[in-house]
Amino acid sequence: MQQFDVVVIGAGAAGMMCAIEAGKRGRSVLVIDHARAPGEKIRISGGGRCNFTNLHASPMNFLSANPSFCISALRRYTQTDFIALVERNGIAWHEKTLGQLFCDGSSRQIVDLLVSDMRSHGAELRLSTSVERIDRNAEGFALALSDGAVQCASLVVACGGKSIPKMGATGFGYDIAAQFGVSVTETRPALVPLTLEPTMLARLAPLAGVAVDAVAACGKTQFAEAMLFTHRGLSGPAILQISSYWREGEEIGLNLLPARDLFEELRAARAANGRQALHTALAAHLPKRLAQAIAESEGATGNLADFSDKALRRVAQSVNDWRFKPAGSEGYRTAEVTLGGVDTRDLDSRTMAARTVPGLYFIGEVVDVTGWLGGYNFQWAWSSGWCAGQAA
């Protein structure tokens, strides 16, 4: 049986970072992944340019049953640390918006950086390899892999969440937690497009492709970003962000014209030119197709002069404060991340070690720490992976 100090399951962002750090400490490390290539989610992320961190990453950008759990790891390995790593490797980057940092070139540069750092610190990478069985023994863990047996002192679970099963996401990390009596909180798709009831969808489907800057709100949480009408419902950053806070049956509020009081704008337009059609007045503020659809949905096709203040207020409200209940979400098929996961009460926040199982670690998305859209999830993967790499 081959012996390693550390076996990492999952050659994603968190697993590779952990392997590099453990390798630096002189630990013998094996990273296994059932996929044919490492870091596939890194490769497809950020439209192929990888939004690898966020300048403003702080604990308030993360959701978890225990919001303070992420503080220690995010402090120990910060966005500045990762930016320095990227720069040391000559990878050019830029800030796109809201502190989101992307490669100028390709996300493959980040994958290559991690793979080559693993290699230079002696970590072995085995792809197309699956885990058939894990047993605990006096020396740590015995793993039956598809290509033979290995023994390790420390086992790091870095196999991500359930999002995008087509890319090999399995939920295997939660099964390992269950096997060793580590709790898992309820999991659900997050950063995911929302779907609409059939009648509302039929009304809005012609708007597919229309984008507006909006404020999306659910309860006390709100995000000001772009949103997009799609053939299935609503998407775009504002919707993905709010989806992480939304629960079935709850209402979402959308302000499709955040900087303006549309009622006052329409009143002024009516005073200036009462013969103007409502949809023309709306089109001064909104994309033409959206303006048309709003005018039609209000059964309001006349001139502005035909509208009372009450009628204008109703139209304005449907833009400044549109409230609706989504039918659901598009689920793990398209969700960027999984909300929930390995219960942080069972983990040490400094090292990511399971409190009751010496030598067992959970890092990255498999843990119940979920970031906002905008590079936060990779920062969590780097920070938690780095911490486990100092200890495993």
Question: Which residues lie near ligand FDA (CB under 6 A)?
Answer: 9-15, 33-35, 40-41, 44-46, 50-51, 130-131, 158-160, 163-164, 168, 170, 172, 336-337, 364-365, 375-378, 381
The DSSP secondary-structure symbol of 272 reads H
Residue (6 or 159) nearer to ligand FDA, CB: 159
Shortest distance (Å) from residue 17 CB to ligand FDA: 8
Outline where the chain has alpha helix (H). Answer: 13-24, 40-44, 71-76, 79-88, 108-120, 172-179, 198-204, 237-243, 262-272, 278-283, 288-297, 309-320, 376-391
Residue 190 bridge partners (DSSP):
337
- By beta-carbon proximity to ligand FDA, the closer residue of 145 and 215 is 145
Minimum distance from CB of 376 to ligand FDA (Å)?
6
List Cβ neighbours of 142 (8 Å cut-off, separation of 6 or more). 1, 134, 135, 136, 149, 150, 151
What does the block give as tokens for 201?
A: 């969808």
172 or 246, CB closer to ligand FDA? 172
For the CB of residue 45, give the shortest distance to ligand FDA in the complex, in Å: 3
Q: Are 1 and 121 in contact (CB under 8 A)?
A: no
- Residue 279 beta carbon to ligand FDA: minimum distance, rounded to whole angstroms: 36
In the complex with ligand FDA, which residue's Cβ is closer, 100 or 292? 100
Q: Give the type of residue at 379.
A: Q
The total number of residues written for the chain in this structure:
392
Give the shortest CB-171-to-ligand FDA separation in angstroms.
Answer: 8
Q: Which residues pair with 215 in a beta bridge?
A: 224, 255
Question: Which residue's CB is nearer to ligand FDA, number 149 or number 202?
Answer: 149
Specify the residue, 12 or 359, whose C-beta has the smaller distance to ligand FDA.
12
Q: Which residues contact 215 (CB under 8 A, 6 or more apart)?
A: 222, 223, 224, 238, 254, 255, 258
Beta carbon nearer to ligand FDA, 142 or 201 = 142
Are the C-beta atoms of 241 and 373 separated by less than 8 Å?
Answer: yes
Q: How far is CA 34 from CA 125, 146, 214, 301, 330, in A?
A: 11, 9, 40, 58, 26
User: How much of the chain is helix, strand and coil, in % rounded to 5?
Assistant: 40, 25, 35
Report d(CA 98, CA 220) in Å as an integer. 21
Spatial contact of 329 and 195, defined as CB atoms under 8 Å apart: yes
CB of 187 to ligand FDA, least distance (A): 13
Separation CA 126–CA 29 (nearest Å): 11
DSSP H or E stretch at residue 53: strand 51-54
Q: How far is the CB of 113 from ligand FDA (least distance, A)?
A: 15
Please state the closest distance from residue 286 (CB atom) to ligand FDA, in A.
29
> Cβ-closest residue to ligand FDA?
12
What's the closest the beta carbon of residue 175 comes to ligand FDA, in angstroms?
8
Name residue, tokens 């086992």: 155
* Closer CB to ligand FDA, 205 or 226, in the complex: 226
Angle at 23 between CA 357 and CA 179, to 5 degrees: 25
**Among residues 307 and 382, whose Cβ is nearest to ligand FDA?**
382
